[in-house]
Amino acid sequence: MDDARALVTSLRSAYTATPTKLKLIDLYVAYAVITAIVQTLFMAVVGSFPFNAFLSGVLSCVGTAVLAVCLRMQVNKANKEFKDLPPERAFADFVLCNLVLHLVIMNFLG
Amino acid sequence: MERGKKIGSTGVGGGALVSGSGKRAFGTVLAALILCLIGIMAFSIRLFSVIKYESVIHEFDPYFNYRVTKYLTKAGIYEFWNWFDDRTWYPLGRVIGGTVYPGLTITAGTMWWILNAFNIPLSVETVCVFTAPIFSSFAAWATYLLTSEVKGRGAGLTAAALLAMVPSYISRSVAGSYDNEAVAIFALIFTFYLYVKTLNTGSLFYATLNALAYFYMVCSWGGYTFIINLIPMHVLLCIVTGRYSSRLYIAYAPLVILGTLLAALVPVVGFNAVMTSEHFASFLVFVIIHVAALAHYIKRVLSPKQYSTAVSFVITFGMYEPAALIAILAAMVAASPTKGWSGRSLSLLDPTYASKYIPIIASVSEHQPPTWPSYFMDINVLAFLVPAGIIACFLPLSDSSSFVVLYLVTSVYFSGVMVRLMLVLAPAACVLSGIALSEAFAVLTRSIKYQDLSEASLLAAVDSTATLNSTNENEASVKEVKDKAPKRGKKKTVEKEVEKKRKRLLGLPMEASAVGILLLIIMGSFYVVHCVWAAAEAYSAPSIVLTSQTPDGGLHVFDDFREAYAWLNHNTGEDDKVASWWDYGYQTTAMANRTVIVDNNTWNNTHIATVGTAMSSPERQAWEIFQSLDVKYVFVIFGGLVGYPSDDINKFLWMVRIGGGVFPHIREPDYLRDGHYRIDSQATPTMLNCLMYKLSYYRFAEADGKGYDRVRRTEIGKKYFKLNYFEEVFTTQHWMVRIYKLKPPRNLVSAVKSKKRFL
């Protein structure tokens, strides 16, 4: 049990040390995932018709979460693979990919 | 992060004359010129059928695509999307918008529309005929891009040249073969290129492009399931071998989400994108990659001891929920009779499945396993080069080279199941052979170039070789040598390193290298000669027009099929229904423009079994079945007079099997004598009385007096008989197509029969 508590505290201290920019992105990711879970619970209550609306809703939330995680990886200064990628370029890619995702979602919503 | 384009490894330009950037520019121009030539060669090698025959659409499936494209160009995209076709599968009809892969038709329609917007009045047929050669040029360029991402520009050019000519790809993309694979292979290679590019650079921009290319692939071909299973397999392989990186996550995770959504957008796929087992692998690996990402993140922030306690903690407590989820998922999958897979996918995974359960899939000749010689026929010399390419991929092993090896291994398995899938093997074989050839040339030319050199030039040679190789380790070791030399200042150590490098560079003596290069070039020329021969002789037949040599060397043309369809078009009513075996359905609707009962889509097994039963039944029962389907005309293909082997009598066994699968009164042993189908005097009475026999051999004995069937090589059993319920209306010039009309039901019962009833 002591081990578990020590683990949790070390995880928490390591996380508070991350820069604010990344914590914002993490918050956005958490928000998207929670929205997806809420939508799934709603579907479990009222049924899955029309299925394409449910699918597009859940996948848009999960999609923005995944893209935000990709952005976080590219913007994170501790990540050596992306040290010569300017963060503006990473953000521009993120916006482009989100545009494509939401265009597809709007098409699929029906 | 640019892995960058490397200079071609055959020593472009004399080193002393041209500077580094000049060399690079010259190399780029040369590569562009070579790519242009490769594109032209890929286009022109596929034109043999147009030269030998005419610009006509081949075979069966392309006629359906052609008809759909005609409708698209005439009626517009919205009508096409909502099209319900009532001219086929009478009386059921077919929802074309929802059951066709639209990529090919929309591509050709767009090309036609663009050309017409520029006032270049090409007909739809011309655009359809030449779509495949154009897209094979694009596929060759995509192969260049893919291979240069894996191994560098020299390998890329070689692979592109190999793909432009490989016979397996030519067989499905000649001018006139207007089928899905024409654009799908280009989409496949291009999607793989973008995936490898994203994996190498970690750029989200390429990940978006990758998803869009995957969307184009889903639109084009049912084989897209290969991509959505191969890429997760590769991601899993990378994770398991410890090669997880953030680039892998960026390459895979957006592709899954965007790809699933885009696949669900295509009406043919629809909700199958999330509900069938073909896609489950991608979701499973999606979950696994997130677990791996989380594990890596935690490993990075914790100390090693705490990380190991965390791992043990998770294993003891955290395994219950995933286990429960997996149990639920397994139960859901096991509940469906096919475990969630479609019939076609199951026949790929278990080669014996189709012959046991789905005779229609087993009956298609393209779905049979290939013989060993067909590997040599279809990929020729590449069959030897591929193992060398696999070894070259391991020196060194990177994410992209492991992907190419995995692609090859899976496609070799699938090509062994179905001969049609040799087509998927061809690009993999070309990529790996290109790598092998390029590496071999590199070693041999390097041996010749650096034969006798002093120490300093050796070190310089080591530098330039290090920039030619695409490995980081080599550069690092070269830098090491350079750093070590001034630091230590000991001549002996430098000499030792130089000796090691000399041994590594100068593998072979000069004569052996020269002979090696010569032999490689000869092997390449064998390949070229074989490919041109295969394209000219083996794969250019349009199969709707046949030719043969007359004894005095001339050419005799058999144009019976088009003759029959034109007769149907001109001599029957607009709404008359025509029945035949399903092979000819697409051609009948496209060329004769008549409603058919069954066609090549084979989506309704019972309907096909009905027609098969009718063909296998005696005349009266067959007439009743056709009368219930409102059929007016029946035609059969008969090759006995000229020796055309793909006629309906040879396909008869499938009619019996498929019909017997649904209607048990058709029993196959009734038609067999000693386990064989016979039509001579030894044939069973059921066989001699069935409709197919009668329609094929009606008045055949009058043609040559003896009734000698050239395909079965025997005289027929029953030579003189009358047809009571059908009348012959047309037989083509070489008796290859025989069209019959159903006699109308009698108005009056004959007086003799009624007297017998009353007495």
Spell out which residues of chain A touch residue B302, defining contact as CB-CB under 8 Å.
Answer: 7, 10-11, 14
Helix (H) or strand (E) holding B738: strand B737-742
Work out the average pLDDT over B443-450: 84
Angle between helices B382-393 and B372-379 (to 10 degrees): 80
Q: Which amino acid is at B311?
A: V
Rg over alpha carbons for chain B, rounded to the nearest Å, is: 32
Give the highest mean pLDDT range of A27-36, B15-24, B448-457, B531-540: A27-36
Residues B162/B209, Cβ–Cβ less than 8 Å: no
pLDDT digits (tens, 9 = 90+) for B619-641: 999 999 999 999 999 999 999 89
Residue B701 pLDDT > 80: yes
Burial class (CB in 10 A: 0-12, 13-18, 19+), B357: middle
pLDDT digits (tens, 9 = 90+) for B248-267: 999 999 999 999 999 999 99
Tell me which fold the domain B557-742 belongs to: Rossmann fold (3.40.50)
What's the token pair of residue B495? 């000499």
**What ipTM was predicted for this assembly?**
0.94
A83 Cβ partners below 8 Å, 6+ apart? A77
B303 near A CB under 8 A? yes
Work out the average pLDDT over A53-57: 92
> Alpha-carbon distance A100 to A98, whole Å?
5
What is the reported pLDDT for B495?
A: 67
Work out the average pLDDT over B578-593: 92
A90 near B CB under 8 A? yes
Secondary structure of B628-647 as H, E, C letters: HCCEEEEEEECCCCCCCCCC
Confidence of residue A79 (pLDDT cuts 50, 70, 90): confident
Work out the average pLDDT over B497-524: 80
Q: Per DSSP, which regions of chain A are E strands?
A: none
What's the token pair of residue B468? 């030619």
Number of Cβ atoms within 10 Å of the Cβ of B245: 16
Q: What are the domain boundaries of chain B?
A: 225-340, 557-742
> Alpha-carbon distance B159 to B146, whole Å?
9
CB contact under 8 A, A69 and B253: yes
Q: Which segment of B14-28, B105-119, B128-142, B278-292 scores lowest on mean pLDDT?
A: B14-28
- The b/e string for A50-67 (b: 16+ C-beta within 10 A; e otherwise) is ebbebbbbbbbbbbbbbb
A9 near B CB under 8 A? no
Of B204, B250, B265, the CB nearest to A107: B265
Confidence of residue A27 (pLDDT cuts 50, 70, 90): very high
> Alpha-carbon distance B147 to B144, whole Å?
5
How close, in Å, is residue B246 to chain A by CA atoms?
A: 7
The residue of chain B nearest to residue A50, with distances taken between CA atoms, is B271
B60 Cβ partners below 8 Å, 6+ apart? B583, B584, B586, B587, B600
Q: Which amino acid is at B264?
A: A
How close, in Å, is residue B144 to chain A by CA atoms?
A: 26
Residues B22/B145, Cβ–Cβ less than 8 Å: no
Q: Where are the alpha helices (DSSP H) in B318-398?
A: 320-335, 343-349, 353-357, 359-363, 372-379, 382-393
Spell out which residues of chain A touch residue B309, defining contact as CB-CB under 8 Å.
Answer: 3, 7
Residue B655 pLDDT > 60: yes
B343 Cβ partners below 8 Å, 6+ apart? B353, B354, B357, B358, B361
Task: Using CA atoms of B447, B449, B455, B457 in order, give the dihedral in degrees to the nearest 10.
Answer: -140
CB contact under 8 A, A90 and B204: yes
Q: Where are the alpha helices (DSSP H) in B579-727?
A: 585-587, 605-616, 619-628, 652-662, 685-689, 691-697, 701-704
The residue of chain A nearest to residue B317, with distances taken between CA atoms, is A4
A91 near B CB under 8 A? no
Quote the mean pLDDT of chain B.
85
Q: Which segment of A50-64, B446-460, B573-587 scores lowest on mean pLDDT?
A: B446-460
CB contact under 8 A, A74 and B204: yes
Of A6, A63, A94, the CB nearest to B257: A63
> Alpha-carbon distance B639 to B650, whole Å?
9
